Amino acid sequence: MLADIFPTGWHATEMAGVYPGDSVVIYGAGPVGLMAAYSAIIKGAGKVMVVDRQNDRLKLAEEIGAIPVNDSEVDPVEFVKDQTLGFGADRGCECVGYQAHDPGGTEHPNMTLNRLVDSVRFVGGLGVVGVFLPQDPGGPDKLEQQGQVAFDYGNYWFKGQTMGSGQCPVKKYNRALRDLIAGGKASPSFLVSHELPLDQAPEGYKNFDSREDGWTKVVLHPAGT
């Protein structure tokens, strides 16, 4: 967990500027989204909302104390505004990336980014750790193929938001997060669903990739368990 996802989730909340009491919306309840929610909770956020549509993942979000938001059932932007007196959340994290898609499976690379801007309040902070790429030849349209995204910049500018983006500098956080674990204050392994020998990696990839129910995080053990 300390090699990537816990520090990356923490980094998303750092870039968003999560402060005790804040309301926080997180797009994506994959491993990084769940770690961002967990990090926000550890930092004392007042309310954490996690948007996804996989029930196994939303259940984990609920178990750590976040509010699950199923975007195949409700409009997540409206939900977040309802939860925040109409203002929008103080902070938002994007933990999905360029392969964001609607419940029908069609990719919209700008979907989570624009929802993020829309559901975070004026002068709110955004942390984007979902992956976006300079080129995406397999992308759904010409814009995306050139690494461009139809981003609601006008809304973003108008609201005076700030955004941090990119991969996580793991060494900035991993010593502190290790000590949180060692001190019994964090157990990020709650999301591990499968521990497999190396030989079963193809099965792990297949199930994790197709978001099979209950496959939330796969750990391979090349040296045996």
Applying CB under 8 A, the residues found at the interface with another protein are: 1-5, 7, 30-32, 97-99, 131, 133, 136, 138, 166-172, 174, 178, 198-199, 201-202, 204-206, 208-209, 217-223
Distance CA 94, CA 128 (A): 5
Residues of span 4-43 touching Zn ion by CB under 5 A: 4
Q: Smallest gap, in angstroms, from Cβ of residue 224 to another protein?
A: 9
Q: What is the CA radius of gyration of the chain?
A: 17
Q: Smallest gap, in angstroms, from Cβ of residue 4 to another protein?
A: 4
Residue 192 one-letter amino acid: V
Distances, alpha carbon 202 to alpha carbons 34, 99, 189, 210, in Å: 24, 21, 22, 12
Q: What are the b/e assignments for 37-75, b being 16+ CB within 10 Å?
A: bbbbbbbebebbbbbbbbebbbebbeebebbbbbbeeee
Residue among 35 and 77 whose Cβ is closer to another protein? 35
Residue among 4 and 152 whose Cβ is closer to Zn ion? 4
Distance CA 95, CA 105 (A): 17
Residue among 26 and 168 whose Cβ is closer to another protein? 168
> Which one of Zn ion, another protein, none interacts with residue 205, CB within 5 to 8 A by kind?
another protein
> Which one of Zn ion, another protein, none interacts with residue 7, CB within 5 to 8 A by kind?
another protein
The residue range among 1-9, 18-26, 48-56, 117-125 that interacts with Zn ion, by the rule CB under 5 A, is 1-9
> Which one of another protein, Zn ion, none interacts with residue 178, CB within 5 to 8 A by kind?
another protein
